[in-house]
Chains A and B, each alone.
Chain A
Amino acid sequence: MKKLTLFLMGLALSIQAYALMPGEDGDRLLGVWEPSNGRARVKVEKIGTKYYGKIVWLKEPNDPKSGLPKTDKNNPDANLQNVPLKGYRMLKDFVYQGNNQWTEGTIYDPLNGSTYSCTIKMTDPNTLDIRGYIGVSAFGRTDIWKRLAVKK
């Protein structure tokens, strides 16, 4: 009877550990996400051990003046202003810290060419709190991003 109890306890612990494993996996961030304004879609990919998000869809993909695909015309480095905006990595260098949080990264605003420090918190498998800030996290703004292909 004792052996059976120990076996069942061990089995329960193994099942619990297995159930927790996906919860600790930073790759849950991978996928396509939409910011609250709905003007773009961002695909998160992994390069090495860090996470990056690039623009894969724009509501207005072309420059209204030239009619050509938009480029990163506000980039502070003039040599890179010709980089296509569709495909541009606006989220860079995120490191998974556990506890559903990715930090150490930056978010780029193509509308003004500014880069901000950023943290990402996954509040549920289909929702992200993206907090951009300058200096201290307390002085920032949080946007809610939704996963495009909802995970059930």
Chain B
Amino acid sequence: MVVWGLLLFLMNGCNSESKTQTGTMECAFEWSGPLYEGSNPAQELVKVDLASLLGNPVQEGMKIMKIQLKSAELSGDSASALNGIASLVLSIASDDPSLPMKELAVLNPVAAPSGQATLKPSPEAELSDFFAQKEFYLVVDAGISADRDQNLRLTGKFQWEIQYR
């Protein structure tokens, strides 16, 4: 009897296979000039909306196993919007003391002249704890090579890989 029970439990466990889906999110990052040579951060508060990210309603009992950044693109308003930017680093942070900030992706150096940059994501950063919060911060550090007076506005397009069951 115990053996049958164990077998049924194992079969049930095997049936609840995990699924992987990608979701895309866009955020705007703004820097007010003047900007000084060196690293200049811009932060954006992201309200977590898994249903919108997955493109379907979050069902009861659904368990998020793993979330990773799959791709990260930053683009400006013009083809030369990134001129004068030497490096771009994307990080994630939370007000929750138990969640330390993580670097997610980097591009160094940024090719010039350019209006768009594709950052290289770190596959080691697992983010399900951040998405379990109501909100988190995405931070972009723009490494400016020389002082500039103008404002800077970049749009971030981030693709997340979500594993759930």
Contact = CB atoms under 8 A, between A and B. Distances in A.
Interface of A: 45, 47-50, 52, 54, 56, 71, 77, 79-80, 82-84, 86-87, 89, 92-93, 95, 104, 106
B95 A84 contact: no
Contacts of A48: 43, 45, 93-95, 137
B103 A80 contact: yes
Interface in B80-137: 86-87, 89, 91, 93-95, 97, 99-101, 103, 106, 108, 120-125, 137
A16 B141 CA distance: 41
A87 B95 contact: no
A56 B101 contact: no
A contact patch SS: strand
A84 B100 contact: no
Contacts of A83: 87, 89, 103, 106, 108
B43 A47 contact: yes
The size bracket of the interface on B is 20 to 34
A71 B122 contact: no
18 contacts: A45-B41, A47-B101, A48-B94, A49-B95, A50-B93, A77-B103, A77-B125, A79-B123, A80-B106, A83-B103, A83-B108, A84-B86, A84-B87, A84-B143, A86-B39, A93-B97, A93-B99, A104-B97
Nearest to B89: A83
Contacts of A86: 38-39, 143
Given A48-B94, A77-B122, A87-B89, A71 B108 contact: yes
A52 B101 contact: yes
B67 interface: no
B51 to A, nearest CB: 24
Given A50-B93, A71-B108, A86-B38, A80 B122 contact: yes
